[in-house]
Structure 1
Amino acid sequence: MNRRNQQQQEDEATHQARFGLNDPRERALWKWANVENLDNFLQEVYDYYLGNGIYSITLSRIINLATLAFVVGFSAYLSSCIDYSLIRSSTKLSEIQIPECMAHLGGFKTFCLWVLSLVWFLKLAQYIIDIRRLTDLRNFYQYLLYITDNELQTISWQQVARRLMALRDDNPITSNAIARQYLGYQSKQRMGEHDIANRIMRKENYFIAMINKDILDLTIPFPLLRNAQWLTRSLELNLSVCIMDFVFNEQGQVRSTFLKDTHRKALAEGLRRRFIFAGVINIIFAPFIVVYLILLYFFRYFDEYHKNPSTIGSRQYSRLAEWKFREYNELYHLFRRRLNLSYYPASRYVDQFPKEKTTQVFRFIAFVAGSFAAILGIASVIDPDLFLGFEITQDRTVLFYIGIFGTILAVARGLIQEETLVFDPEANLRYVAEFTHYLPPDWNGRLHTDEVKNEFSKYYALKIVLLIQETASIILTPFVLWFSLTNSCEKIVDFFRECSLYVDGIGYVCCFAVFDFSKKPRLQNPRHHM
Structure 2
Amino acid sequence: MTNYASLNETPDFYGEYGTGEYGIPHQHVSEPTRSQWNHIEDLDSFFTRVYKYHQKHGFKCIALKEVIDLHQFAFISGVLFTMFFGINYALLFSPQTRINDRWIFSVLIPFDDVMRDLPFWGWLLLLFLSIIFVLNLIRKLYALVMYWDIKQFYNQALAIDDADLDNLTWHEVQKKLIHAQLDLQMCIHKRELTELDIYHRILRQTNYLVALVNKRLLPPRMYVPFLGELVYWTKNLRLNIMILFFWSPWSPFENPWHLREEYKRPGYREKMAKELGRQVLWLFFINLLAFPLIFIGQLIFYFFNYCEQVRREPGKFGIRYWSHYGQLYFRHFNELDHELYARLSRAYKPATKYMGSFSCPSLVILAEHFTFMCSSILAIFLILGSLDNDIFYWDQVLTMLAILTGTIGVAKNFIPDETLIWCPEQLLEAVVLHTHYLPGVWQGFAHTAKVHANVQQLFQFRFAAILEEFVSPIVVPYILIRHIYPRTLDYVDFFRNFTVSVVGVGDVCSFAQMDIRKHGNPDWHADSEEAGDNAPQANQYTQAEDGKVELSLMHFTATNPNWQPPPEAMEFVENVNLESHRVLLNDDVVNGPFGVVSDTDFLNPIKQEQESIQSISMPARMRSSYMRGSLTGLGGISRQSIFSQQAEGPDIFSSIENMRGSTMVLHNRHAMRSAQQRALETIYTSSTIGRGNHTTAV
**TM value normalised by structure 2:** 0.65
1:492 aligns to what? 491
Alignment of 1:182-331 (within 5 A): 186-189=189-192, 191-216=193-218, 218-219=220-221, 227-245=229-247, 246-250=251-255, 252-331=257-336
- Native 8 Å contact 1:220 1:476 kept in 2: no
Which whole-Å deviations, capped at 9, do the CAs of 1:188-222 have from their partners, x for residues lacking one?
A: 52x22222112211221111111211224735699
CA–CA distance in 2 between the matches of 1:357 and 1:62? Answer: 49
The answer to whether structure 1 residue 343 and structure 2 residue 345 are counterparts is no
- Is 1:527 matched up with 2:526? no
2:165 counterpart of 1:155: no
CA RMSD, aligned part only? 3.1
CA 256–370 in structure 1, closer or farther in 2 if over 3 Å, else same: same
For 1:40 and 1:121, the matched residues in 2 are separated by: 23
Contact residue 350 and residue 431 of structure 2 kept, 8 A:
yes
Comparing both chains, which one has the higher relative contact order based on Cα–Cα distances under 8 Å and sequence gaps of 6 or more?
1
Query: Are 1:134 and 2:144 matched, yes or no?
Result: no
> What is residue 93 of structure 2 aligned with on the other side?
87
Look up the equivalent residue of 2:211 and give its one-letter code: A
CA contact (8 A) 1:311 1:414 kept: no
Deviation at residue 414 of structure 1 after TM alignment = 3.9
Cα contact 2:87–2:109 (8 A) shared by 1: yes
Gaps of 5+ in 1: 6-13, 15-24, 179-185
Deviation at 1:308, TM superposition (A): 1.3
SS in 2 for 1:228: strand
Cα 1:97–1:484 change in 2 (3 A) is same
Give the letter aligned to residue 458 of structure 1: Q
Sort the Cα spacing of 1:48 and 1:64 in 2 relative to 1 into closer, same or farther, 3 A.
Answer: same
- Counterpart contact for 1:235–1:477, Cα < 8 Å: yes
**How far off is 1:165 after superposition?**
1.5
**Matching of residue 515 in structure 1 with residue 525 in structure 2:** no
CA contact (8 A) 1:81 1:102 kept: no
Cross-structure match for 2:463: 464
Shift of 1:373: 3.4
Query: What are the Cα deviations for residues 387-417 of structure 1, in whole angstroms up to 9, with x where unaligned?
Result: 446x7xxx745x5554444444433434432
| Aligned-pair CA distance for 1:296 | 0.8
Alpha-carbon separation, structure 1, partners of 2:223 and 2:421 = 42
Contact in 1 for aligned 2:53/2:59 (Cα 8 Å): yes
Q: 1:252 offset after TM fit, Å?
A: 1.5
Partner Cα separation in structure 2 for residue 488 and residue 44 of structure 1: 34
- 1:18 maps to what in 2? none
Deviation of 1:132 (Å): 2.6
Determine the structure 2 residue equivalent to 1:49. 54
Alpha-carbon distance change, 223 to 403 in structure 1, aligned in 2, over 3 angstroms = closer
Tell me the distance in 2 between the aligned counterparts of 1:77 and 1:265.
Answer: 54
Deviates more, 1:106-115 or 1:268-277: 106-115
SS of aligned partner of 1:34: coil
Q: Tell me whether 40-49 or 132-141 shows the greater mean CA deviation.
A: 40-49
Q: 1:103 to 1:225 in 2, by over 3 A?
A: farther
Deviations 1:14-54 (A, max 9, x none): 9xxxxxxxxxx956521221212333321221122232221
Indicate conservation of the 8 Å contact 1:325/1:436, yes or no: yes
- Which residue number in structure 1 is paired with residue 424 of structure 2? 425
**1:129 to 1:502, Cα distance in 2 relative to 1, 3 A:** closer
Distance apart, 1:249 and its partner CA: 3.2
Q: 8 Å contact 1:219–1:480 — kept in the other structure?
A: no
Instruction: Report which stretch shifted further, 209-218 or 286-295.
Output: 209-218
The alignment status of 1:77 with 2:91, answered yes or no, reads no
- Between the aligned partners of 1:265 and 1:67, the Cα distance in structure 2 is 47
1:200-249 per-residue CA deviation (whole Å, 9 max, x = no partner) reads: 11221111111211224735699999953322111111111111242323
Q: Structure 1 stretch 101-110 or stretch 50-59: which is displaced more?
A: 101-110
What per-residue deviation string (whole Å, max 9, x for no partner) do you get for residues 40-84 of structure 1? 321221122232221111111111112222222212322343454
What letter corresponds to residue 185 of structure 2 in structure 1?
S
- Corresponding residue SS for 1:528: helix
**1:479 to 2:478 alignment:** yes
Aligned to 1:316, the other structure's residue is in SS state strand
Partner SS, residue 491 of structure 1: helix
Distance 2:217 2:371 in 1: 48
CA distance in 2, matches of 1:240, 1:177: 26
Question: Structure 1: how far apart are the matches of 2:161 and 2:178?
Answer: 18
Alignment partners' CA distance in 1, 2:481 and 2:207: 25
What letter matches 1:303 in structure 2? Answer: E
State the 1:260 CA deviation: 1.7
The worse-fitting range, judged by mean Cα deviation, of 242-251 and 463-472 is 242-251
AA matched with 2:542: Q
The one-letter code of the counterpart of 1:134 is Y
The answer to whether the 8 A contact 1:201-1:329 is kept is yes
1: CA distance between counterparts of 2:294 and 2:245?
Answer: 22
CA distance in 2, matches of 1:508, 1:230: 29
* TM-score of the two chains, using structure 1 as the length reference: 0.84
| Structure 1, 78-87 or 66-75: larger mean CA deviation | 78-87
Aligned to 2:24: none
Q: Which amino acid aligns with 1:528?
A: D
**CA distance in structure 2 between the partners assigned to 1:290 and 1:432 by the alignment:** 36
Amino acid at match of 1:266: K
TM-aligned CA distance change 1:345 to 1:207, over 3 Å: same
Q: Could you say if the C-alpha distance between residues 405 and 505 of structure 1 is closer, same or farther in structure 2, counting changes exceeding 3 Å?
A: closer
Greater Cα offset, 506-515 or 230-239: 506-515
Cα gap change, 1:383/1:239 in structure 2, threshold over 3 Å: closer, same or farther? closer
Once residues 28 and 109 of structure 1 are traced to their aligned partners in structure 2, the CA distance between those partners, rounded to angstroms, is: 51
Give the number of equivalent residue pairs.
Answer: 495
> How big is each residue's C-alpha offset from its partner over 1:79-118, in whole Å with a ceiling of 9 and x where there is no partner?
3434545525231234544563455454444323322320
Equivalent residue of 1:422, what SS?
coil
Q: 1:78-117 counterparts in 2 under 5 A? A: 78-84=83-89, 86-87=92-93, 89=95, 90-91=97-98, 92-98=103-109, 100-101=113-114, 103-117=116-130
Q: What secondary structure is seen at the aligned counterpart in 1 of 2:516?
A: coil
How far, CA to CA, are the matches of 2:33 and 2:266 in structure 1? Answer: 43
Shift of 1:137: 0.6
Distance 2:410 2:364 in 1: 12
Distance 1:38 1:405, change over 3 A: closer
User: 2 CA distance for matches of 1:384 and 1:322?
Assistant: 50
Structure 1 residues 402, 323: CA separation in 2 closer, same or farther (over 3 Å shift)? closer
Q: Kindly state the Cα deviation for residue 378 of structure 1 after the two structures are TM-superposed.
A: 5.0
Q: Do 2:257 and 2:508's aligned partners in 1 also have CA atoms closer than 8 Å?
A: no
Q: Do the aligned partners of 1:369 and 1:405 also contact (CA within 8 Å) in 2? A: yes
Report the Cα distance in structure 2 between the residues aligned to 1:511 and 1:317, rounded to whole angstroms: 27
Q: Secondary structure at the match of 1:165?
A: helix
Deviation at 1:263, TM superposition (A): 2.2
What does the per-residue CA deviation read over 1:324-350, in whole Å, with 9 as the maximum and x for residues that have no partner?
111100011211222222222222111
**Would the aligned equivalents of 2:257 and 2:506 in 1 still touch at CA under 8 Å?**
no
Pair 176,327 (structure 1): closer, same or farther in 2 beyond 3 Å: closer
Mean alpha-carbon deviation: is it higher for 134-143 or for 145-154? Answer: 145-154
- Determine whether 1:175 maps to 2:180: no
Flag the 1:356–1:285 CA change in 2: closer, same or farther, 3 A: closer
Q: Which residue of 2 aligns with 1:442?
A: 441
AA paired with 2:104?
Answer: L
Cα 1:263–1:410 change in 2 (3 A) is closer
Paired letter, 2:154: Y
Structure 2 Cα separation of the partners of residues 441 and 352 of structure 1: 21
Gaps of 5+ in 2: 6-15, 17-29, 520-537, 548-664, 666-698
The amino acid across from 2:490 in the alignment is K
Give the distance between the partners of 2:220 and 2:32, measured in 1 at CA: 46
Shift of 1:151: 1.8
Q: Distance in 1 between matches of 2:219 and 2:322?
A: 20
Q: 1:177 to 1:382 in 2, by over 3 A?
A: closer
